[in-house]
Amino acid sequence: MMQNFSENSSLTHLDSSGEARMVDVSAKQPTVRIAVAAGQVRMLPETLAAIEAGNAPKGDVLGTARLAGIMAAKQTSQLIPLCHPLPLKKVEVQITPDSQLPGYQILVEVKTKAETGVEMEALTAVAVAALTLYDMAKALEKSMQIEAIRLVSKTGGKSGDYRAI
Task: List the one residue out of 11, 13, 39 whose CA is nearest residue 164.
Answer: 39
| Cβ atoms of residues 90 and 77 within 8 Å | no
Instruction: Give the Cα separation of 165 and 153 in Å (integer).
Output: 10
**Of 15, 24, 60, 135, catalytic:** 135
Identity of residue 139: A
**Beta-carbon count within 10 A of 48 CB:** 23
* Biggest CA-to-CA distance, the chain: 61
Helix axis angle, 61-74 relative to 119-137, nearest 10°? 150
Task: List the one residue out of 137, 129, 131 whose CA is nearest residue 55.
Answer: 137
Active site residue 135: yes
Catalytic center residues: 135
